[in-house]
Amino acid sequence: MQKQNNEKRVVIYCRESRDDYGENYERIETQRDLLVKYCRSHGYTNIVDIIMDDDKSGTDFSRFDDIKERARKKEIDVIVFKNSARLGRNQREALEFVEYLEEQGIEIIFEDEQYNEEMFGLYAWFNERRARDDSKNIRRNLRHKIEEGDLLVKAIYGYNKDGKQLVINKETSSIVQEIFELYSKDWGYKKIATYLNKKGIPTPSESRNFANAKQAENWQAQHIVRILDDRRYVGDYVGGHTEKLSFKSKKTRVKPEQEWTIIENHHEPIIDRKLFEKVQKIRKKRKKESDKYNNGFKYVDTENNLYSGLLYCGRCGTPMYKRKGTSGTRKRPDSYLCKKYCNEGAIKEDIRENYGCKPHRMRIEYLDQIVEAYVDNLVSNPEFKSFVMDNTKAISTNKSSLEKDLNKSKQTLEKLEKQFKQVYEDKLNNLIPEFIYKDKKQELEKKIKYEKEKLQEVESKFNTLNKLEDKEDLIFKAIEDIKKNGLTKEELSRLFDKIVVFGKNEITKEEKDVYNLNDMMYNELYENGGLAFHLKFMYPQTITNRRV
């Protein structure tokens, strides 16, 4: 039997966004009130939800995922839009979405135009075309604003913003000038960075008090490269490096340099053009020489890089990376070195606290031998299997308890959300006064927020235990594969969280507990240095003396 309009469960959908390009002449609340009035005047009084997507792009159809799920569960009968443009501006996605709703028996209503199944494809094409044209118009307007000096551009290191203009910062601009002068006098990137660190000059992010700036951050070679490479220091505006692949997509691509937006003499220069061009010539020449010296000692070999992302320095905690050991006629073994040492050099406390590190050089031929010996030790150690099995049993017990908490939390949350919807419906139907609605709404929102956070925490613990439960088989399978096929990147990642390299007298008492070491292991590592293996399970670690 067909439902009457007042029995049908109705969802009202409202959307406004920047991509409406001039059509956004009404507030989204006005659009909502208009659709509510429309529903009531046509007998659709059973409004179960009002969705208000403010500032959402019409080309993004992921916003309908929840509606599609509710349609699949037969929780709604009608969905009401102001018009086809509010539904979306992507022809293919719009047609697929409408087809899905029709398959689920959902009635589609547009308030200010007739929904016509046969004509909807044409409307969808027109809406997509408008979105494409609007995107082009917006980019054109932005370029015009830049050229007219009406767009507020971001200030780079050496400049400040004054209204819509870039003005020179006397303090930091002198550092930029010094960097260019030093490089033109045959200084390298790393040498300039070390020089600035010795002088105690704040880095670009430190000088601007950025929230994500690291405390006691050091100048690195990459800071110098960015400054020397930036044409804006000669007074030119450079923008439009990237663009969206499509008005429908958020993905971007780097545009060819000839398509960039470049405006010469846009602001006051810090660097003379002749000096800038001289520096670029030097950089280009050095790059060619560096390419010829491709087989030198200082480059990272990515082939057979088994321990990348697994091997860490015990002193400073930074990753270690592989260096090829051949340098002309001089032979050196392939090794892993501390990344901080490679970037900053040896420890120099006179420059800055925690400046530099030790090499912690780990020869790959010995590293392979040590890891293979460690795996052999696991296989021959009966306590290891017993330890993993005991952990798995404990995990299974905890999972059962968490599963009960999970179901209880879901039921509570579902109950609260139903109460919230009921209060909203009562307010729409004028069954409760505004002040009672606001109090109830606030109370339920707090409870729902608390329950969602609780549910998220329980789900996180439950998922973690699920992963741990699978690790028993994964660990033994990884060991078997290593024994059968030798060391591979995949198997090492399945077996270890990380491998930490300590020098003599480096490990602290606090780290003894972190790495789950007994007294004998700790003393051996402290006195001789070595490797701490961090398994996926926190099994007591075997320490092996390292050879460098």
pLDDT of residue 546: 46
pLDDT of residue 75: 92
The helix, strand and coil proportions of the chain, stated in percent and rounded to the nearest 5, come to 50, 15, 35
pLDDT of residue 540: 45
pLDDT of residue 278: 93
Q: What is the 3-state secondary structure of 182-239?
A: HHHCCCCHHHHHHHHHHHCCCCHHHHCCCCCCCCCCCCCHHHHHHHHCCHHHHCCEEE
Task: Count CB atoms within 10 A of the CB of residue 453.
Answer: 10
Q: Contacts by 437-446 with C-beta closer than 8 Å and gap 24+? A: 444/416, 444/419, 444/420, 445/420
Q: What would the CATH number be for the domain defined by 159-291?
A: 3.90.1750.20
Contact between 449 and 375 under an 8 Å Cβ cutoff? The reply is: no
148-172 b/e with 16+ CB inside 10 Å = b? eeeeebebbbbbeeeeeebebbeeb
Q: Which residues contact 248 (CB under 8 A, 6 or more apart)?
A: 59, 90, 131
pLDDT of residue 39: 92
Q: How far apart are the first and last CA of the chain?
A: 83
* Of the candidates 240, 279, 282, the residue with the CA atom closest to the CA atom of residue 261: 240
Task: Count CB atoms within 10 A of the CB of residue 192.
Answer: 22
Report the percent of the chain where pLDDT is more than 70: 69
CA distance 233 to 268: 9
Q: What is the 3-state secondary structure of 87-131?
A: HCCCHHHHHHHHHHHHHCCCEEEECCCCCCCCCHHHHHHHHHHHH
CA distance 203 to 455: 42
Mean pLDDT of the chain: 76
Residue 48 pLDDT > 80 = yes
pLDDT of residue 176: 95
CATH (one of 3.30.420.40, 3.40.50.10540, 1.10.150.120, 3.40.50.1390) for 5-146: 3.40.50.1390
* Of the candidates 135, 84, 142, 136, the residue with the CA atom closest to the CA atom of residue 114: 84
pLDDT of residue 483: 67
pLDDT of residue 134: 56
pLDDT in tens, 184-227: 988 888 889 888 988 889 888 888 754 444 444 688 888 999 89
Of 39-53, 221-235, 407-421, least confident by mean pLDDT is 407-421
Residue 85 pLDDT > 60 = yes
Residue 102 corresponds to which tokens in the numbers above? 């029709």
Of 27-31, 143-147, 317-321, 336-340, least confident by mean pLDDT is 143-147
Phi-psi region of 62 (alpha: psi -120 to 50; beta: other; left: phi over 0): alpha
pLDDT of residue 387: 57
pLDDT of residue 77: 94
In terms of pLDDT, which residue wins out, 53 or 239?
Answer: 53
Of 144-148, 407-411, 476-480, 492-496, least confident by mean pLDDT is 144-148
pLDDT of residue 295: 38
Q: What is the mean pLDDT of residues 259-265?
A: 77
Alpha carbon 534 to its chain centroid, in Å, reads 26
Residue 373 pLDDT > 90 = no
Angle at which helices 382-428 and 434-485 cross, to 10°? 160
Confidence of residue 475 (pLDDT cuts 50, 70, 90): low
Where do the structural domains in the chain lie, given as residue ranges?
5-146, 159-291, 379-486
Of 62-66, 87-91, 494-498, least confident by mean pLDDT is 87-91
pLDDT in tens, 493-548: 777 888 899 988 888 888 887 777 778 888 888 888 888 888 766 544 444 444 44
pLDDT in tens, 478-502: 677 776 666 777 777 777 888 899 9
pLDDT of residue 211: 41
CA distance 176 to 161: 17
Answer positive or negative: Cα dihedral of 298, 299, 304, 309. positive
pLDDT of residue 182: 93
CA distance 296 to 181: 28
Residue 443 pLDDT > 60 = yes
Confidence of residue 12 (pLDDT cuts 50, 70, 90): very high
Q: What is the mean pLDDT of residues 339-344?
A: 84
Alpha carbon 403 to its chain centroid, in Å, reads 30
Q: Which residues contact 56 (CB under 8 A, 6 or more apart)?
A: 15, 17, 63
Residue 33 corresponds to which tokens in the numbers above? 């009130």
Residue whose pair of structure tokens reads 């490479």 in the numeric block: 229
Residue 427 pLDDT > 90 = no
Residue 496 pairs in a beta bridge with: 535
pLDDT of residue 448: 87
In degrees, rounded to 5, the angle at the alpha carbon of residue 542 between the alpha carbons of residues 538 and 543 is 125
Of 233-242, 250-259, 323-332, least confident by mean pLDDT is 323-332
* Of the candidates 17, 15, 42, the residue with the CA atom closest to the CA atom of residue 31: 15
pLDDT of residue 233: 93
Answer positive or negative: Cα dihedral of 407, 412, 417, 422. positive
pLDDT of residue 183: 92
Report the percent of the chain where pLDDT is more than 90: 13
